[in-house]
Amino acid sequence: MACQRMICRECDLAVNACDLEAHHDAFCPRCNHRLKRGSYVSLQGLLALSVTGLLLLIPTLTEPLLSIRMLGQYTEASIVTGSVLIMEAGFPLVGLVVLACSIMIPGLVLFLVTVMLLLVQRGLPSALGCQLLKVYQWLHTWSLLEVYLISFFVTVFKMRDFAVISPGLGLVSLVILVVLELYITSELDRERLWRSFAPVGGRV
């Protein structure tokens, strides 16, 4: 069993970490931060999931998420309309934050993962891959689809007294998209991507 000295990212402790069996993780003895994971899902599988996610973006964006009947009028809500209305009302920054975190960044993250996984398959160093990975690392914490989903449930409860609200097909695809996105971002082995895009000699 090969062992190597690893530095903990959170508390800077030098730890002797040995190779792990699949599904075993190594944790820092001092601060309990996860030093490394034994296994990730295969890159092929991840690629399939991220392509699925990209396809699911289409119904999520085009189909109505919620529809409402109120004061005799029927309205449908899509992801984009709300943030555009907020921008038009004089709060461009708020609209932009909402639009970015709810759909632009999640969509971009899926696109970046797909392209990076396709690049990895060639097994060659890639400057483009490095740049995409940097953008991905910078953006992915702002992909807030799960928060967005919960906010739909909050909205339904807030408005149920004075309006009839029914879920649309878009909401179904949003639920699947949330699960996919959470799984993909947690299973993406960034260290593996860095090693592939920018190989260097052995670790110190």
Partner 1 sequence: MTEVTGKALNLTLCRTCGFQCELQARCPRCHARLHLRFRHSIQRTWALLLAALILYVPANVYPITVLTYLGQTSGDTIMSGVIALAKSGMLPIALLVFAASIFIPFLKITGMMLILLSIHFRWKLSANNRLLLHRFISSIGHWSILDLFVISIMAALMNLGNLATFIAGPASTAFAAVVVLSVWAAESFDPRLIWDLK
Judged by the rule CB under 8 A, the positions of this chain that interact with partner 1 are: 5-14, 30-31, 65-66, 68, 70-71, 73, 75, 77-78, 81-83, 85-86, 89, 91, 93-95, 97-98, 101-102, 130, 133-134, 137, 141-142, 144, 147-148, 150-152, 154-155, 157-159, 161, 163, 165, 190-191, 194, 198, 200-201, 203-204
Q: What is the DSSP letter of 63?
A: S
Give the nearest distance from C-beta 19 to partner 1 in angstroms. Answer: 16
Query: Residue 121 or 191: which CB sits closer to partner 1?
Result: 191
CA gap 168, 200 in Å, rounded: 50
Query: Residue 53 or 129: which CB sits closer to partner 1?
Result: 129
Give the nearest distance from C-beta 8 to partner 1 in angstroms. Answer: 8
Give the nearest distance from C-beta 51 to partner 1 in angstroms. Answer: 26
Query: Residue 44 or 137: which CB sits closer to partner 1?
Result: 137
Query: Residue 40 or 91: which CB sits closer to partner 1?
Result: 91
Query: Residue 19 or 48: which CB sits closer to partner 1?
Result: 19
Give the nearest distance from C-beta 143 to partner 1 in angstroms. Answer: 9
Q: Helix H segments across 64-104?
A: 79-88, 92-99
CA gap 172, 94 in Å, rounded: 26
Give the nearest distance from C-beta 45 to partner 1 in angstroms. Answer: 23
Query: Residue 122 or 190: which CB sits closer to partner 1?
Result: 190
Give the nearest distance from C-beta 64 to partner 1 in angstroms. Answer: 10
CA gap 198, 27 in Å, rounded: 26
CA gap 167, 127 in Å, rounded: 44
Q: What is the sign, positive or negative, of the torsion defined by CA atoms of 27, 25, 186, 201? A: positive
Q: State how far the alpha carbon of 201 is from the alpha carbons of 129, 198, 204, in Å.
A: 19, 10, 9
Cβ-contact 140, 109 below 8 angstroms:
yes
CA gap 150, 141 in Å, rounded: 17
Cβ-contact 190, 133 below 8 angstroms:
yes
